Amino acid sequence: MADPVRPLIAGNWKMNGTSAELPELKRIADGVEGTRSDSPYDALICVPATLVDRAVRTVVGSPLAVGGQDCHGEENGAHTGDISAAMLADAGATHVIVGHSERRADHGETDIDVMGKALAAHAQGLTAIVCVGETRQEREDGRAMDVVDTQLAGSLPEHATPQTTVIAYEPVWAIGTGLTPSLHDIEAMHDHMRDRLRERFGTAGALFRLLYGGSVKPANAGEIFGISSVDGALIGGASLKSDDFLAICAAMPAR
Ligand code: 13P
């Protein structure tokens, strides 16, 4: 049965982007606007925190949403250098990525931390994009699904809903490497995650958006989007160039 979920195509600019890149963002916004009436997807770019406010003003009037890449789990307080969900919402963000593997690796973020961040995002009306994914060693050891199960169970708040929460499956070894799992392996993992979500959230579990992330490019987006349990993508490198991001958007079939 075809997946009924409306796809989301999301970019993650990571630690890239200053005001010099705002024209590129504008080109993305103009490009997704071109398909507004019959667009088969929603589009989002998660920019560095310093750019959120200007990015929102740059894309105003277009269907492109702007998100952040991380938020602190606390509402406010003595956390030098951190960004709260309220700050992102105040700047105009509608989404925030939490638990990206680069944050888990670089900053030692645990599933408990990620859940706290998702809760903080929800409290401010932000959609949390919760990232999960195994390392190469974990896949080679045959533990990919167990690892993702543990991350999902530990990172997703109990009250998460398909409206407040998106899940991104990003195998760590596929990020920025040009490597991707086989289509069969992506489908198997997404089907598996869907089963777990149904078990935990009942009928709502069928409606969470499940994004694939890791070396999505114009050349492979069509075949990845052809997997019925893939509800869009979280795109790093290829989201920095409007031509690439829009080519990926164009590869999303009508559902
Ligand atoms: P790449 O598309 O550059 O592999 O990055 C994926 C990613 O980490 C998105 O969050």
**Considering the domain boundaries, does residue 19 fall inside one?**
no
Q: Give the domain extent around 194.
A: 8-12+68-73+81-250
Binding site membership of 213 for ligand 1 (Cβ less than 6 Å): yes
Tens-place pLDDT, residues 44-87:
999 999 999 999 999 999 999 999 999 999 999 999 999 999 99
The answer, as to whether pTM is greater than 0.75, is yes
Helix, strand or coil for residue 91? helix
Give, using CA atoms, the residue closest to atom 5 of ligand 1.
236
For residue 8, the cross-strand partners are 42, 232
**28 Cβ below 6 A of ligand 1:** no
HSE-CB of 23 using CA atoms within 13 angstroms: 1
Say what the pLDDT of residue 39 is: 73
Catalytic residues: 100, 170
Please report whether residue 128 resides in a domain: yes
Q: Give tens-digit pLDDT for 175-184.
A: 999 999 999 9
Q: Evaluate: CB of 234 within 6 angstroms of ligand 1.
A: yes
Contact 52, 17 (CB under 8 A): no
Q: How far is the CA of 212 from the centre of ligand 1 (A)?
A: 10
- Per-residue pLDDT at 175: 98
Top-confidence residue, 254 or 156: 156
The pLDDT score that the predictor gives to residue 249 is: 95
Q: Say if 214 falls within a structural domain.
A: yes
64 token code pair: 């492109």
What is the best residue among 8, 9, 12 to mutate for testing ligand 1's pocket, by most ligand atoms within 8 Å of CB? 12
Q: Is the pLDDT of residue 6 over 80?
A: yes
Residue 168 is assigned to a structural domain of this protein: yes
CATH number at residue 87: 3.20.20.70
Determine the atom of ligand 1 nearest the C-alpha atom of 101. Answer: 8
Task: Report yes or no on 181 lying in a domain.
Answer: yes
Instruction: Give the pLDDT confidence of 86-129 residue by residue, as tens digits.
Output: 999 999 999 999 999 999 999 999 999 999 999 999 999 999 99
Q: What is the mean pLDDT of the segment spanning 29-34? A: 80
Ligand 1 in reach of 171 Cβ (< 6 A)? no
CA-to-CA dists, residue 47 to 65, 106, 113, 123, 165, angstroms:
11, 18, 21, 21, 19
CA distance 7 to 254: 10
What's residue 2's pLDDT?
Answer: 47
Residue 208 lies in a domain: yes
With CA atoms as reference, report the closest residue to 70 among 19, 123, 16, 12: 12
Kindly give the distance from the C-alpha atom of residue 77 to the centroid of ligand 1, in angstroms, as a whole number: 31
User: Which two tokens mark 145?
Assistant: 């699904």
Q: Is the CB of 231 under 6 A from ligand 1?
A: no
Distance of CA 123 to the CA centre of its chain: 19
Residue 114 lies in a domain: yes
Residue closest by Cα to atom 2 of ligand 1? 236
Note whether residue 24 is domain-resident: no
CB 73 less than 6 A from any atom of ligand 1: no
Percent of all residues in the chain with a pLDDT value above 70, rounded to a whole number: 96
Number of domains in the chain: 1
Residue nearest to atom 1 of ligand 1 (CA): 236
Question: Which tens digits make up the pLDDT trace of 127-156?
Answer: 999 999 999 999 999 999 999 999 999 999
- Nearest atom of ligand 1 to the alpha carbon of 215: 4
